[in-house]
Amino acid sequence: MSRWRVFGLFSAAYVLSYFYGSANAVISPDLARELSLGAGDLGFMTSLFYATFAAAQLPLGAALDRFGPRATVPALMLLAAAGSVVFASADSFAALMAGRALMGAGMAAVLMGSFKAFSLWFPPGRFAAAAGLVMGIGAAGGLLSATPLAYASELFGWRSVFLWGAAVVTASAASIFFFTRSAPPGVALPRAEGGEGSGGFGAVFADGRFWRIAPLSFFAVGGLLGVQGLWAGPYLFDVVGLSKVSAGNVLLFMGVGAAAGAAASGLLAGRFGFYRVVLPCGVVFVLCQIALAARFAPAAAPYLLFGFSAAACDVLLAHARAVFPPSMTGRVVTAVNLFGMGGVFVLQWAFGLVLDASQGSAGAEGGYPPAGYAVAFLLTAAGTTAALLFYLPLAREGKRSKRE
């Protein structure tokens, strides 16, 4: 069996995961209109995808290390297919929340399962490149959830899109189960060593280097997916005044940037080191958030750079993986991802609460004022800046080891 078949099928599954995570940005006006949702409702319901995604990470890490990605990933993806049907059929806020939560839990294993498989199918020196490439390919789901979803939802309705999505997710799960292996022939899954405790997470959380990485993952992943997955759409509707399809076109730029950033980051980190990628991209991400707070017109550059710089910080997963032994790969990457997905849940919901607090000055059509978006973006920029400063000691350590 070719490693590239394994790579391709897991990458296709991650495209679907990314699509589901970011789909609400374009269809948010339809959801708000049909079910009378406010910004806080939209933010909380959308963020439930990432809440259940994050909650699954710690048990998922142990499951990947014990059962392997071939068994774990498809089993959970069937939950996502069921969630897509529930979401498409929803006639209440509670049903929307249930569907969104099931989709998040079902997609929780896709990216981490890919990393676990790649750690066994690819040489250690190529892991960062493979991880970055799958994130870049997966970010194409962000492209599908932009203009294509805007057109599809207008032609067929958003409910039909999610019903068809359930069938595609089921087919993807079946392809992974029947046409891949967790490890190459003759290679056994690395097992947790005795004494690692409950799943080995104690060793991960006790390492100070993990805590240098995790907060930046919280703000970079949370900031990107929280905005791309929901609030970029309303921002373009309310602040810039775009239609659904026009907003989808602008979101396409953000998706292209995210795909390019994720794909390039692993290659660049392999050549120049993790810190030479993370630090400059983190700074650019902060500047982009400030630019959006300052109400930039919908030109391509701010949205491309927003997506590129934040997605490039996904290389933090490979950075964390490099710190720990292969037997702990599943738990290490899921522990970091716990903070990233937790960041999406917290920041996406908090963004909505900030907008609801600014509702008093909303326009007649029920939009939200630019000042509300500005405050939300600036708060996220401040958090990202603090996380970058906390990451700096690990970057200095990387410089020293490079000289040695």
pLDDT in tens, 236-272: 999 988 888 888 888 899 999 998 998 888 888 888 8
Specify the range with the lowest mean pLDDT, choosing from 180-184, 225-229, 254-258, 333-337: 333-337
Instruction: Give CA–CA dist 388/277, Å, rounded.
Output: 12
Residue 377, number of CB atoms within 10 A of its CB: 23
Which class does domain 3-182+205-403 fall in?
Answer: mainly alpha
Instruction: Say how far apart CA 339 and CA 184 lie, in whole Å.
Output: 30
> Between these two residues, 334 and 59, which has the higher pLDDT value?
59
Answer whether residue 325 shows pLDDT above 80. no
- Please tell me the predicted confidence (pLDDT) of residue 379: 97
The whole-number pLDDT of residue 362 equals 46
Where is pLDDT greater, at 36 or 359?
Answer: 36
Tens digits of residue pLDDT in 104-132: 999 999 998 998 899 889 887 788 788 88
- Taken in order 144, 289, 340, 368, the sign of the CA dihedral is negative
Query: What tokens appear for 170 in the block?
Result: 């089921």
Residue from 137, 107, 176 nearest 255 by CA: 137
Which tokens belong to 332? 């290490």
